[in-house]
Chains A and B, each alone.
Chain A
Amino acid sequence: FCLSADIISTVEFDHTGELLATGDKGGRVVIFQREQESKNQPHRRGEYNVYSTFQSHEPEFDYLKSLEIEEKINKIRWLPQQNAAYFLLSTNDKTVKLWKISERDKRPEGYNLKDDDGRIRDPSTITTLRVPVLQPMDLMVEATPRRVFANAHTYHINSISVNSDYETYMSADDLRINLWNLEITNRSFNIVDIKPANMEELTEVITAAEFHPSQCNTFVYSSSKGTIRLCDMRALALCDKHSKFFEEPEDPSNRSFFSEIISSISDVKFSHSGRYMMTRDYLTVKVWDLNMENRPIETYQVHDYLRSKLCSLYENDCIFDKFECVWNGSDSVIMTGSYNNFFRMFDRNTKRDVTLEASRENSKPRAILKPRKVCVGGKRRKDEISVDSLDFSKKILHTAWHPSENIIAVAATNNLYIFQDKVN
């Protein structure tokens, strides 16, 4: 039995990999921190424990539009660390918030007018003056909202992305992308607007957007029609005209009712190097060279066997599931989720791929994950699972990869799994 409020809706490592943040459908953020290395317990290095939990967003109701605004956290993005505190952006469908997470391990003691419990002292009993001093206390982690960026999106926010200038960030909804200054909440600049004058003419929506990791003027956004546009903010203030347009040509004879739906891009991520980008559509992951717009340089099949199930996947809405994809730190391996709590990894160099499962039954702590295989017809071997036995309610939409080490976080509905490379 799983409470729907506990369903994890986003997972993100910070830039050091020491912190891991998750957001859930109930609007909560839980931050995990990696255990420090300790000589006493060397095997505990690398375990992530809860560091802070807070309610980021609450459900709202927009009476004017009769619109229910979910508290579900759609995305979390960390800011790079600049002082002792940690900062992250979290967003639901309508509002982005900047949270400050700070530690408190000292408190002042020895006040004159009140005692240490906080009770006011009787002034007639005070005969001497003392200077309050800071005394150590049990570590307390506090999360405080520092900025609320509201009322800038008519449609539902699907992405946020922090710029490499560390001063601005963007938020994207179905039809518009806005640029914000992290310090200013009452103004934002609209940099992309694809809303047609007549909504009857609407043919595509924005599905994801991201800033380039090092070029602060460059960003990309993907669409429901399987295209990616790269924009340069130096060229235009309103980037409705793209600098580059990425689309793979389609074989018209293969076109079906489902073609456009399964070509809709659910996630776009730049490589760490900034030379490539990766897109996820319903059945594949594609790697694009930013210098080549007419086709991807690599295409990986995530679960091609679903092609013969598209009718039922359309009926149960699974065809609209939005899977994310991630790069490893060196951009050599890419990972994405699938159904039945399966997730897939593709090694770009060796061209090998593996299917793994995130579930309690199949993994004991510190046990090695066994590769899984889906049988696509004919004789099913003992270890394989047939397509018809796949559980489509167990979807892995959100995964994250540590920025430098082989540690991955996989969200399976309401459970978070953290896997690491075996340490010898």
Chain B
Amino acid sequence: EMEDKVVSPEKVEEAKLKARYPHLGSKPGGSDLLRKRLQKGQKYFDSGDYNMAKAKMKNKQLPTATTEKAEVTGDHIPTPQDLPQRKPSLVASKLAG
């Protein structure tokens, strides 16, 4: 008598996921996922630079005789609004806790 073994659709999906991400932890509901959830909204930027740049903008309202082309040494100082929302990674970095 042959018994048909029905693999649940969930287990099929699980196998698919593990095939794509072999390093995915076996405890999905654990700390990593939850901590990512708790960290929603985290945006890192340098508030000191931001506030100094804001102050500089205020001072720049005064007209200057010569508009020098200042050397651009890097990207402009980001403001909170400019920062893209960092989407939490699907796979936890090996560096993370």
Contacts and interface: CB of A to CB of B under 8 A. Distances in A.
Interface of A: 61, 63, 65-70, 93, 155-156, 174-175, 199-205, 224-225, 254, 256-261, 264, 307-311, 314-315
A261 B26 CA distance: 13
A201 B31 contact: yes
Interface residues of B, number: 33
B23 interface: no
Choose among B11, B13, B14, B44 the residue with the greatest number of A CB atoms under 10 Å from its CB: B13
A225 B33 CA distance: 12
Contacts of A68: 41-43, 80, 85
A258 B30 contact: no
A260 B41 contact: no
A119 B61 CA distance: 36
Given A174-B38, A225-B29, A261-B28, A66 B44 contact: yes
Interface string B2-17: 0000001111111011
B54 interface: no
B41 A93 contact: yes
A3 to B, nearest CB: 16
Contacts of B44: 66
Given A174-B38, A200-B97, A307-B9, A314 B17 contact: yes
Given A308-B9, A309-B13, 6 more contacts: A61-B80, A66-B42, A200-B31, A254-B8, A256-B8, A315-B20
Interface of B: 8-14, 16-18, 20, 24, 26, 28-31, 33-35, 37-38, 40-45, 47, 80, 85, 90, 97
30 contacts: A61-B43, A67-B41, A67-B43, A68-B41, A68-B42, A68-B43, A155-B38, A156-B41, A175-B38, A200-B97, A202-B35, A203-B30, A203-B31, A204-B29, A205-B34, A256-B8, A256-B10, A256-B13, A256-B14, A257-B14, A257-B24, A258-B13, A259-B10, A260-B28, A261-B29, A261-B33, A307-B10, A308-B12, A314-B17, A315-B90
Contacts of B17: 257, 310-311, 314-315
B29 A205 contact: no
A174 B14 contact: no
A156 B40 contact: yes
A66 B37 contact: no
B77 to A, nearest CB: 15
Contacts of B16: 311
Contacts of A155: 38
Contact of B18 (A93, A203, A257, A309): A257
B46 to A, nearest CB: 10
B37 A310 contact: no
B37 A257 contact: no
Nearest to A316: B90
A257 B34 CA distance: 15
A334 B24 CA distance: 37
Contacts of A260: 28-29
A24 B97 CA distance: 36
A93 B85 CA distance: 16
Nearest to A257: B14
A112 B17 CA distance: 78
